Structure 1
Amino acid sequence: MMSSLLPLISEILPMIMPASANITRAKQLEPTHPTVEGPVIERPAVVGKCDNMCVTVLTTRPHSKSTVRHNSEQDTIIYAVSGNGVLIVNEAVNSELKHHDLAPGDFAFVPAWIEHQVKNDTDEDVQWLMIQSGSTPIRADLTEWGGDVIQSKN
């Protein structure tokens, strides 16, 4: 009897005890010391608020690029907020790198484990939203394309 109520309880519980909304203000995401913080700045926007997604804001300074990385088991949607940048992906071992120009309003989907890098060849900052399929973002920085993991963040 009780086991038959479990699916019903899981559907009703969020209505009885709803989670609260969480607001992150744009001012909270601005780099405080851009020249000190480096060429690529990551800020948590919505992290640890639900089980299956999170969002970080990635700012790529002029004439800079991120490390070569993959996001382990997390799929990633990238949304270009401002500036014109390039998403570089390595979709298979020993394959040719693919360069995708992204302008404000463009989306890109990067599957789990795919090596990628964002690059800014312009004179202005490029800002990206990184939406990942986990409660907190996972990132593995690599020595080079197809290289070893030098740092893992989650």
Structure 2
Amino acid sequence: MASLMPLIQDLLPMILPSSISVTKACDILPPPTPTPPSPPRIKVISRDAVVNKTDKMCASVLIVKPHSSSSVRHHGEQGTCQPIFLPSSYNSSIWYKDQSHLPTQKTKYPPSFQDAIIYAAAGTGVLLSSPKDEGDEPERFPLGQGDFAVVPSWTEHQALNESEVDVLWVIIRSGSSPVEVNLTDWGGAEAKEPLRR
């Protein structure tokens, strides 16, 4: 039965097709800021775009204002799921009535992790990645409009905008909703709230 699960997951959308879901830009992007901006000025804006619409992927938008950076972060655990146990003597007529064959303790599959693809939609920013050695500077990956980057799960990274205009990145992740673990610094502990500079 377990070997049939991937096949069932592939066939189910063909049997019971879903409908298209659209998220409008006006529901994601903040309104333009007045000139001059009124304090306190928000430096990093993260908005959900496509969340909980499918179990395989999600998308969000990250806007980093000029001369600002996000917190150091990684995309950690995406969650766990409970396995279904079928006894070797599986009999569908009694299986749902008698569940004594099920384990009494809940067992979890190993957590799945969230890889991310970043698409630089506007502006020029820098994707920083954790330093190779202690005392080194973070690795720098400049991203201009139209560039893509892949960030594996658990990879510490930071969005940096050294320019005079907003940086806008579209972030597509595996999993149904985004996971962001904000850290106090490179290799640091989990922050209570995101640090924005």
Into which bin does the TM-score normalised by the smaller protein fall?
A: 0.7 to 0.9
Alignment counterpart, residue 87 of structure 1, candidates 127, 130, 150: 127
Residue 57 (1) aligns with residue 61 (2): yes
Q: 1:106-126 CA distances to partner (integer Å, 9 max, x unpaired)?
A: 011111111100011111111
Could you tell me whether the CA contact under 8 Å between 1:91 and 1:115 is conserved in 2?
no
Could you tell me whether the CA contact under 8 Å between 1:141 and 1:150 is conserved in 2?
yes
Residue 135 (1) aligns with residue 134 (2): no
Question: Would you say how many aligned residue pairs link Structure 1 and Structure 2?
Answer: 152
**Which ranges of structure 1 fall in alignment gaps of 5 or more residues?**
none
Q: Which has the larger radius of gyration?
A: 2
Change (3 A) 1:69 1:16: same
Superposition pairs of residues 60-75 of structure 1, within 5 angstroms: 60-72=64-76, 73-75=113-115
Change (3 A) 1:12 1:71: closer
Taking only aligned residues, the RMSD between alpha carbons, in angstroms, comes to 2.6
Letter of the aligned partner of 1:79 in structure 2? Y
| TM-score, with structure 2 as normaliser | 0.68
**Which ranges of structure 2 fall in alignment gaps of 5 or more residues?**
77-112
Separation in 2, partners of 1:3, 1:139: 31
Once the two structures are TM-superposed, the CA of residue 13 in structure 1 deviates from its matched residue by: 3.2
| TM-score, with structure 1 as normaliser | 0.85
Could you tell me whether the CA contact under 8 Å between 2:132 and 2:138 is conserved in 1?
no
Q: 1:6-60 CA distances to partner (integer Å, 9 max, x unpaired)?
A: 7775554322321111001111112147566721101111111111211000011
Residue 13 of structure 1 aligns to a residue whose secondary structure is helix
